[in-house]
Amino acid sequence: MTKKQNPMKDFITRLKRLDTKLAKVAPYWWDNSLASSSGATQQAILSISKSLNLDIKSVLDPDAELKFKDVSACYRKAGNKAVNDLLAATGLVHSVSKTAEKIVLNDYVHFSAPSVIREQILASGYSCVNLYSLAEYCWSKGVPVLFLPDLPTSKKMDAVVQEVNGRPVIAITKKQKHESALLFLLAHEMGHVFSGHLDSGQAIIDESINENDEIDQQEMEANSFALALLTGDEGTRFTSRTRLTGEALAQAAKLKGEERHIDPGHIALNWGYTTGSWGVANKALNLLYPELTWQDDLKKLFLSNIDELEVGDDELDFLFNLMNIEG
pLDDT single digits (tens) 20-46: 888 778 888 888 888 889 899 999 999
Q: Angle formed by the axes of helices 294-303 and 131-140, to 10°? A: 10
What is the 8-class DSSP label of residue 106? S
pLDDT score recorded for residue 102: 97
Cα distance between the two ends of the chain: 45
Is residue 190 exposed (0-12), middle (13-18) or buried (19+ Cβ within 10 Å)?
Answer: buried
pLDDT score recorded for residue 78: 62
pLDDT score recorded for residue 197: 94
Question: Rounded distance, CA 133 to CA 71, Å?
Answer: 31
Question: Rounded distance, CA 116 to CA 131, Å?
Answer: 17
pLDDT single digits (tens) 305-315: 999 999 999 99
E-state strands within the chain:
73-76, 145-147, 159-164, 167-172, 203-206
pLDDT single digits (tens) 67-122: 998 888 888 776 665 778 888 899 999 999 999 999 999 999 999 999 999 999 99
Overall average pLDDT of the 157-172 stretch: 96
Instruction: Supply φ then ψ for residue 175, to 5 degrees.
Output: -95, 125
Return all residues near 65 (Cβ < 8 A) that are at least 6 apart: 14, 17, 58
